[in-house]
Amino acid sequence: MRYLTPAELKAMIDKGEPMQVIDTRDPIKFEECHIPGAINIPQIDLPEKADMISRQDPVILYCLYGVKSEAPFLYLREKLKIKNVWILEGGIYQWANDLDQSLPIF
């Protein structure tokens, strides 16, 4: 597994680097709060929405704490053979704690 810290992801976003940020939580949680620019593909929907996932840009996955992103990470790497996949360390919880405490996850 490969991880990015919230600070590393924020730096990539601030630089305008090409990437795809995927929130793997359910749509209700996504609507409540998400990282700017992220798209919502719940973990259970990954197989049917695989065509939405970038094969050239880095793909950064996140969930609430980063733990449930491990299964989608393995699915993308092993099943879909997408190599440039990362997990946001600590998930959106860590993102909010470190960078945006206004997010309603506490």
Q: How many domains does the chain have?
A: 1
- Tell me, yes or no, whether 47 lies in a domain: yes
- Average pLDDT of the segment spanning 59-73: 96
103: confidence class by pLDDT, cuts 50, 70, 90: confident
Digit-coded pLDDT (tens) for 42-56: 999 999 999 999 999
CB 39 within 8 A of CB 23: yes
d(CA 90, CA 96): 10
Percent of the chain with pLDDT over 90: 92
Percent of the chain with pLDDT over 70: 99
CB 57 within 8 A of CB 20: yes
- Tell me, yes or no, whether 52 lies in a domain: yes
Task: Name residue 6's amino acid.
Answer: P
Domain holding 91: CATH number? Answer: 3.40.250.10
pLDDT of residue 104: 86
Domain that holds residue 13: 3-98
